[in-house]
Every structure is written in C-alpha cells, then in structure tokens.
C-alpha cells in the first residue's frame, strides 16, 4: 500500500530571481505531487503531497537539480497532515516580515540565450540585451527589494505582449525573469561619436570599424563603462595609456572564447574553468611567448589578464571585431569607474573617440573581478562583479548585526547578520570624494537590500583612513576598533570557516600598529577575539614617509644603511643612480626626522627591487615587488639567511616578540650583486630567504605556544613564488596551513576579518 504524505518545505539561499519556483513547479508535476510553491522574505516555501517515496525523491532533487544560478544553503521539511487537494500551483509572494532572501550576482549570458542570439529565426536574433532566469544582470540593476521588475533599472521598459506571455508562463525559461525584454520593448544600443554626435548606421558594425581603425571606444558594460582598443595595436594601446594617465599598470583583455585565450596564454584546466564560469572574472594567466598583443597592453609583464564575453553585447562586439580587445575600466588614472551615462560622457570625453552605449541604467558601480588559478584552485585578487553580493557563510553566528568599514586601499565594506557576511563589491582606494561616495552609497544600499540595521560598527585603527572617520562619525552605535593585521588573520580564519587560535603571518605594505608605528611584517598568536604580537620584521626608517612608498630606492638606502651599520659598500648602482639625493635620504633615516619606523614586508621587497635595478620609483601600488617576483629565477635553490633575535622581555617578564633582521637579506643580496651574481638568481635567493625566515619564526612560535596551524594573509601573499615556498616549508615541518580562497589576501578581505573579530568579541562578552 502506498502511503500518502504531505510536507511543508522551506528553501534558503539564492533562490529568488533565478527560476527556482518554475523549477519546483516542473519537478513536482513530473513526480505527480500536489501542492504549491511561493516566495517570501526568507526565500522559497512550498507544500507538497503525494507518495512518500516521491516526496523523498523531490527533496533530494531540490538540491541536486537546482537551476544554474540558484545556490541552496538550506532545505528544511516538516511533516503535515495530507489534505487530499489535487494540482500544483505557484502562489503569490508574501512580502511581510524582515527580508532574508538573497540578491543574486550578475551572471554571464547562458548557452540557451547564446543559441537564440545566433538564430536568425529567433525574435531576439542579434539582440544585445537578451537574458533569461538563468543569466543576465542582477545586482547591478537592482534598486531595492523584493527583487521585482519595478525595483530594477528595467522599470521604465514596458513588456510587449510576447515578453509578458513568457514572463507569466511557469513553463517558460523567462518566467519571472525580471530583466526580460526584446527588440520591440527593451533597451536599445546607440553609438555616439564624440566629434560628430550620433553615429549613423549599425552601432555594432560602426564600433568594430572604429576599433579596427585604432580608435578608443567606450563601451557600457554591466557594472560600468569600459574603454576598448584593438589589443594588437601598439599605437592604440599607447594612446589609451596616455589619455588615461596610466603608465604601466596592465590592461585586461577580452577574447571571444577559450580557444582565443589559448592563443595568448597558457590555459590549464583550472584556468579554463575560471574563464568560462558564469561569474566571468578577469583571469590572470601566464602569457605565451610571442602572443600577438601590443607591448603597451601589459608592459614587462609575464601574465595577461583575460576575460570572456559576459553580456550579449560583448559577444556581438567580439564577433564583429574578430580579434582580442583591451577592455579596461572607464576612468582616468585612479578615479572610480564611470557608470552613469552623464558622468561617463563627461569624464571619458577626453579619452574615448566614441561611445557604444544604451538606455538600461546601471544602478551600482561594480568593477570586474580578478582571479588567478593556484595549484588547481581559484584565488581571488579582487572580488566584485559576478561574486558580490553573494554572502559568505560564517562558522559562528553573530550575536548582533555588524557593519565593517574595511581599510583604505582596495576597500570593501561588509554587512553581516546571523551567519551571513555580505562582503561588498570592490569600492577602491578611499582617497577621493567619488570613491567615498561609492562607499557611503553602497553601505546605504546594502542596508536596504538586506534589511539590516547594524548594531556594531567595526573599523581600522588608522585614525586617518576615511573609512575610520566614517565609522567614528556614526551616532548611537557600538564601535569596535580592530588592528589591521589582526583583521587580516581573522579574515583568513573566517575565509576557512575557522576560529583559531593560530600562528598568523600577516605580511603587507602598511597597517597601523597598536604602538602607533607602521606594521606590515607581523607574526601574531591570534584567535578571532584577540592577538599577541609574537614576532615581526626588525623596523627600519621610511625616509620621507609616503615618498618612500612611491620611491623604493629610498627603502634601499634605509635598508643598506641599517645592513652596513652606516658604512655602505661602494659600487652599488642604486646609490649611483640616486647619488644626488642619497646622502640626504640616509641622513633623514638616521636622524629619524620625517622617517617613521616600519616593520613592513612590502618595503623590504621594495628595497631589494631597487637594489637589483628593477625600478627606483613606482607607478602603481606594489609594482616593484610584482616585478621582483617576475624577475626571480624559479630554478634557483639557494637562500639568504636572516638572523632572528629573541625580543627583549615584555613588561610582564614573558618573552618579547621575535625580530627578523630583514637587513641581513638586503646585505646578502648586495654582496652577491657586487660579486657579479645575476639579478634573477639574487631575486630568487631573496624570496627563498624570506620564506625560510617565516618558517623558522613559525617553528619557534610553535615551541612557545604549542600551536600547529599557520594562517597566511596580507597583500604580500599575492606573490605566488613566496606563497608557494612558504606553504611548502611549513607543510614539510608538519604545520597545517590556511590560505585565502573566498576573499583576497589583500586589503579587499579586511572587512570580512573585521566582522569576524567583532562577532567573536560579542560572543566572548556574552552578548
Ligand atoms: Zn539565458
Ligand atoms: Zn518584448
């Protein structure tokens, strides 16, 4: 005898605006179940009734066969008394209560839509705004919640009868696809020639002609405007650099497909999966020798940043152009990317010769994400379009909602409630009004979108960060100041769903220390709630303060002076190249005037880069260190050795922090250089020396603390050569090693760490 059961079911996660209800409808109908399904503030709810085996099968398939854009976090089911009612229905949404449903990230055009785009018989043939429930714009067009067409930037477009029929048909791929549209009712493409006004003819053909002609084209994308040129044209790429005032920082490329990517780069299995993923990030890949890309695209770089088309407009444009294009953010120098039409036309007028644009507004500026394959895994350098605002799960529940303001460079903020952390899209460097407005507008938007009032606001201890000032300006709210490197280690812990305690290695450029000096080469004994500074690089002066960041040769002067105790070896080219200012800078370092002390690992890499002649001044953050990594000979097996001093006893009589003498590494490099060793060999020995010092300090701290897990974080660990060596050495000596996976190791991950620390302190304090 078949037993009939009824179950009440709740599905949480990214389950709205992704075709989940039609999926439930067709699944239930297929299994012969009765009942209904609907949306509410928490996600999707349903009741199903039928044979016990079929209901069981239904529950299993809910997770395993969910639509491509759905992310099922939780399915809960409770037994009810069968009602005997027949039929299955999609019921109206219930909007009452606090909203917990999630907004999905933007997603690349799906294969079904691409097939229609290319089908001359389809009514959306060649239409640049084709989308469905399985693909298309989401986060960038959402103006509010619940996610419904009136609360998207598609609101001004009234659906035609044919689109409305698809939208209302539960069996259709476009059922409740909010951005659904067609040539009859949706957005339109337009080409604006900045000299002659509107372009005549087909905008796409004209855009392709301009690119082929070596001109600079602004293209409206999902999260902002890009600037495009023919990637093979040295003249066009150089013109773009000059007009953007961007000297060396590599441009990203867009190619038609994976095969085209293989012509430019080495693409392994992980790289291919990342390129083709629906998130469509920029993927950093090793450049092939002789790749047909102009030198000005990524000067002196062994890698190229490549992405595949992610909007129908990109697909059509790439097909029309027939070759790779540069597709870089639409801005001047370090300004935020332009995303509103008026702003783009104004700010990019001096850069672009023409605009390929349209009338669907972008609600929130969202830059391209940047990732890199590492040992078969994805690692993030920038988490933004295609990822935000998907929440990251937290291992422990937050007692109170937290807003974390992040740091200064590569800023993200994070709004977190219960066990979900909504890390924002990339905001950028908070050093001008436009970025600050992105930051404050973004926070307001997230508060509405996720219906969350923060009760704790976490911020960096640096008093001058704009994100810190924003936090300190808020009234009537609990504040949690969190040390920068503790936030890095907490970020790595939260990224891995762990709570510590661990030995944390936080190596980066700059962070405000609890003693008022600049930290950045730190060994912490840390859990989420607190930390002890157990070791660090021996501090050296930064002659000229911020000038020493822009001019690595100043760090070479400071480090060489420390290494040789004032008697710098003669014959070093770095001193010769900067002879005019060298004595003054050395004097500044010695007197300590305008020369703050720093234990920054970034500055140590800068010093060695300048010493080896990699470069004396930089044009973008981290440039010298990036080029030093690329210079290093991967086959070299030698390593310099840094002495490690037991620190002076602390005030309580316990052991003080261990001090790693970075100057020893600089001295060894200088002596090798004077002895005629090749710079690639020296760069490699330096990297291996830093890795060995990290492993040695961790081993000493394991003796002291009994901890066997190491967490690695901070921007310096974007250096894959260093990261690989450190992980290998630590694992060889029996450590368990945690690295980043879901957020970047750089300051883009700080906000997640701040959330984790604020939550842990709340739990410690019994909140
Ligand atoms: Zn689609
Ligand atoms: Zn239509």
Per residue in 311-336, pLDDT (tens digit) is: 999 999 999 999 999 999 999 877 88
> What does each C-alpha distance from 584 to 113, 278, 559 come to in angstroms?
65, 54, 15
pLDDT in tens, 560-569: 999 998 776 6
| Closest listed residue to residue 355, CA positions, set 243, 195, 218 | 218
> What does each C-alpha distance from 412 to 177, 389, 455, 511 come to in angstroms?
29, 11, 19, 16
| Closest listed residue to residue 466, CA positions, set 443, 445, 448 | 443
Label the pairing between strands 370-374 and 392-393: unpaired
pLDDT in tens, 526-560: 999 999 999 999 999 999 999 999 999 999 999 99
124 Cα–ligand 2 center, Å: 9
119 Cα–ligand 2 center, Å: 17
In angstroms, the CA 338 to CA 328 distance is 12
370 Cα–ligand 1 center, Å: 23
Q: Positive or negative CA dihedral for 422, 426, 430, 434?
A: negative
127 Cα–ligand 1 center, Å: 13
pLDDT in tens, 355-371: 999 999 999 999 999 99
366 Cα–ligand 2 center, Å: 27
Whether 578 has a pLDDT exceeding 60, the answer reads yes
In angstroms, the CA 714 to CA 521 distance is 9
Whether 1 has a pLDDT exceeding 60, the answer reads no
Whether 392 has a pLDDT exceeding 90, the answer reads yes
315 Cα–ligand 2 center, Å: 21
* Phi, psi angles (nearest 5°) of residue 355: -120, 125
pLDDT in tens, 719-762: 999 999 999 999 999 999 999 999 999 999 999 999 999 999 99
226 Cα–ligand 1 center, Å: 23
131 Cα–ligand 1 center, Å: 4
In angstroms, the CA 217 to CA 353 distance is 6
- Tell me if 304 sits within 8 A of 298, measured CB to CB: yes
**Upper half-sphere CA count for residue 347 (Cβ side, 13 Å):** 22
Whether 271 has a pLDDT exceeding 90, the answer reads yes
| Closest listed residue to residue 88, CA positions, set 16, 13, 170 | 170
Tell me the whole-structure pTM to 2 decimals: 0.92
> What pairs with residue 480 in β-bridges?
458
* Phi, psi angles (nearest 5°) of residue 74: -155, 135
pLDDT in tens, 116-163: 999 999 999 999 999 999 999 999 999 987 778 899 999 999 999 999
| Mean pLDDT calculated for residue range 47-65 | 92
Torsion of CA 337, 340, 342, 348, to 10 degrees: 20
Nearest ligand to the C-alpha atom of residue 187: 2
Q: Which residues surround ligand 1, an ion (CB under 5 A)?
A: 110, 113, 132, 134-135
In angstroms, the CA 64 to CA 227 distance is 40
| Cβ neighbour number for residue 734 with a 10 Å cutoff | 9
| Closest listed residue to residue 572, CA positions, set 605, 531, 610, 541 | 610
Burial of 259 from C-beta contacts in 10 A (0-12 / 13-18 / 19+): exposed
> What does each C-alpha distance from 468 to 90, 401, 622 come to in angstroms?
47, 18, 23
User: Could you tell me what percent of the chain has a pLDDT over 70?
Assistant: 97
Q: Which residues surround ligand 2, an ion (CB under 5 A)?
A: 160, 163, 182, 184-185
Nearest ligand to the C-alpha atom of residue 18: 1
Whether 114 has a pLDDT exceeding 80, the answer reads yes
18 Cα–ligand 2 center, Å: 20
- Higher pLDDT, residue 89 or 442: 442
- Tell me if 583 sits within 8 A of 529, measured CB to CB: no
- Tell me if 222 sits within 8 A of 364, measured CB to CB: no
- Tell me if 37 sits within 8 A of 24, measured CB to CB: yes
Encode 442-461 in three state secondary structure.
Answer: HHHHHHHHCCCCCCEEEEEC
In angstroms, the CA 271 to CA 680 distance is 27
180 Cα–ligand 1 center, Å: 10
pLDDT given for residue 67 in this prediction: 87
pLDDT given for residue 198 in this prediction: 67
pLDDT given for residue 528 in this prediction: 98
133 Cα–ligand 1 center, Å: 6
> What does each C-alpha distance from 17 to 138, 194, 414 come to in angstroms?
8, 38, 23
pLDDT given for residue 465 in this prediction: 93
- Tell me if 662 sits within 8 A of 640, measured CB to CB: no
> What pairs with residue 691 in β-bridges?
none
pLDDT given for residue 727 in this prediction: 97
Nearest ligand to the C-alpha atom of residue 177: 1
pLDDT in tens, 596-630: 999 999 999 999 999 999 999 999 989 999 999 99
What DSSP state is assigned to residue 749?
G
pLDDT given for residue 286 in this prediction: 95
pLDDT given for residue 17 in this prediction: 74
| Mean pLDDT calculated for residue range 343-364 | 95
695 Cα–ligand 2 center, Å: 62
Instruction: Give the three-class secondary structure for 262.
Output: helix
User: Could you tell me what percent of the chain has a pLDDT over 90?
Assistant: 82
pLDDT given for residue 378 in this prediction: 94
- Tell me if 639 sits within 8 A of 732, measured CB to CB: no
Whether 501 has a pLDDT exceeding 80, the answer reads yes
Whether 257 has a pLDDT exceeding 90, the answer reads yes
| Closest listed residue to residue 15, CA positions, set 92, 61, 67 | 67
CB neighbours of 123 closer than 8 A, spacing ≥ 6?
A: 162, 182, 183, 184
166 Cα–ligand 2 center, Å: 9
Model confidence at 476, pLDDT cuts 50, 70, 90, reads low
Mean pLDDT for the chain? Answer: 93
Model confidence at 181, pLDDT cuts 50, 70, 90, reads very high
132 Cα–ligand 1 center, Å: 4
Nearest ligand to the C-alpha atom of residue 109: 1
| Mean pLDDT calculated for residue range 268-293 | 96
Instruction: Give the three-class secondary structure for 233.
Output: coil
pLDDT in tens, 209-242: 999 999 999 999 999 999 999 999 999 999 999 9
Model confidence at 39, pLDDT cuts 50, 70, 90, reads confident
Whether 310 has a pLDDT exceeding 80, the answer reads yes
Instruction: Give the three-class secondary structure for 143.
Output: coil
Model confidence at 100, pLDDT cuts 50, 70, 90, reads low
């Amino acid at each position: 005898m078949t037993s009939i059961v009824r179950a009440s079911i709740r599905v949480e996660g990214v389950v709205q605006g992704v075709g989940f209800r039609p999926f439930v409808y067709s699944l239930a109908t297929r299994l012969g179940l009765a009942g209904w399904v609907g949306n509410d503030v928490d996600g999707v709810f349903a009741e199903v009734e039928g044979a016990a085996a079929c209901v069981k099968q239904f529950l299993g398939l809910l997770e395993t066969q969910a639509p491509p854009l759905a992310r099922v976090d939780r399915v809960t089911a409770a037994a009810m008394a069968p009602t005997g009612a027949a039929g299955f229905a999609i019921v109206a949404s219930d909007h009452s209560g606090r909203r917990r449903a999630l907004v999905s990230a933007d997603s690349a055009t799906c294969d079904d839509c691409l097939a229609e785009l290319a089908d001359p018989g389809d009514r959306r043939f060649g239409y640049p705004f084709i989308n469905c429930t399985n693909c298309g714009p989401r986060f960038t067009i959402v103006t509010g919640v619940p996610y419904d067409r009136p609360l998207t930037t598609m609101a001004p477009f009234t659906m035609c009868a044919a689109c409305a029929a698809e939208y209302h048909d539960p069996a259709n791929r476009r059922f409740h696809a909010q951005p659904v549209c067609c040539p009859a009712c949706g957005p339109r493409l337009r080409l604006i020639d900045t000299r002659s006004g509107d372009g005549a003819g087909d905008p796409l053909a004209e855009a392709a002609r301009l690119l082929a002609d070596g001109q600079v084209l602004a293209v409206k994308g999902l999260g902002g405007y890009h600037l495009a040129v023919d990637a093979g044209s040295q003249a066009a790429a150089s013109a773009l650099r000059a007009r953007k005032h961007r000297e060396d920082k590599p441009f990203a490329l867009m190619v038609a497909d994976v095969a085209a990517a293989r012509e430019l780069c080495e693409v392994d299995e992980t790289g291919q999966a990342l390129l083709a993923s629906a998130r469509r990030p920029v993927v950093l890949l090793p450049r092939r020798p002789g790749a047909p890309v102009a030198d000005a695209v990524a000067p002196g770089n062994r890698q190229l940043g490549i992405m595949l088309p992610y909007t129908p407009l990109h697909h059509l444009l790439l097909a029309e152009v027939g070759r790779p294009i540069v597709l870089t953010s639409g801005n001047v120098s370090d300004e935020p990317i332009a995303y509103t039409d008026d702003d783009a036309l104004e700010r990019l007028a001096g850069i672009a010769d023409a605009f390929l644009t349209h009338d669907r507004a972008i609600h929130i500026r969202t830059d391209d994400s940047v990732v890199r394959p590492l040992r078969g895994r994805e690692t993030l350098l920038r988490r933004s379009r295609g990822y935000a605002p998907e929440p990251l799960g937290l291992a422990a529940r937050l007692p109170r909602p937290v807003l974390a303001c992040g740091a200064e460079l590569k800023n993200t903020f994070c709004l977190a409630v219960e066990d979900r952390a909504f890390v924002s899209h990339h905001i950028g460097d908070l050093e001008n009004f436009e970025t600050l407005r992105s930051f404050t507008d973004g926070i307001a938007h997230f508060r509405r979108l996720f219906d969350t009032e923060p009760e704790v606001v976490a911020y960096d201890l640096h008093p001058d960060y704009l994100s810190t000032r924003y936090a300190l300006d808020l009234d009537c709210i609990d504040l949690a100041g969190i040390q920068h490197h503790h936030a890095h280690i907490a970020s790595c812990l939260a990224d891995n769903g762990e709570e510590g305690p661990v030995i944390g290695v936080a190596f980066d450029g700059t962070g405000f220390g609890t003693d008022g000096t600049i930290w950045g080469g730190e060994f912490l004994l840390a859990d989420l709630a607190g930390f002890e500074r157990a070791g660090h690089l021996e501090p050296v002066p930064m002659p000229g303060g911020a000038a020493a960041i822009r001019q690595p040769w100043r760090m070479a002067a400071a480090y060489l002076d420390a290494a040789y105790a004032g008697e710098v070896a003669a014959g070093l080219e770095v001193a010769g190249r900067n002879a005019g200012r060298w004595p003054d800078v050395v004097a500044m370092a010695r007197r300590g005037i305008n020369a703050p002390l720093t234990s920054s690992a970034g500055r140590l890499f800068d010093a060695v880069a300048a010493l080896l002649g990699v470069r004396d001044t930089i044009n973008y953050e981290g440039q010298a260190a990036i080029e030093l990594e690329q210079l290093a000979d991967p086959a070299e097996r030698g390593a310099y050795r840094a002495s490690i001093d037991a620190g002076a006893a602390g005030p309580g009589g316990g052991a003080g922090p261990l001090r790693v003498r970075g100057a020893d590494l600089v001295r060894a490099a200088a002596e090798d250089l004077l002895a005629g060793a090749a710079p690639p060999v020296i760069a490699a020995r330096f990297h291996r020396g830093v890795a060995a010092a990290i492993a040695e300090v961790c081993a000493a701290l394991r003796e002291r603390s009994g901890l066997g897990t190491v967490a690695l974080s901070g921007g310096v660990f974007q250096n894959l050569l260093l990261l690989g060596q450190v992980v290998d050495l630590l694992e060889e000596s029996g450590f368990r090693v945690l690295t980043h996976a879901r957020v970047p190791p750089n300051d883009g991950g700080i906000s997640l760490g701040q959330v984790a620390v604020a939550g842990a302190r709340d739990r410690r304090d019994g909140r």
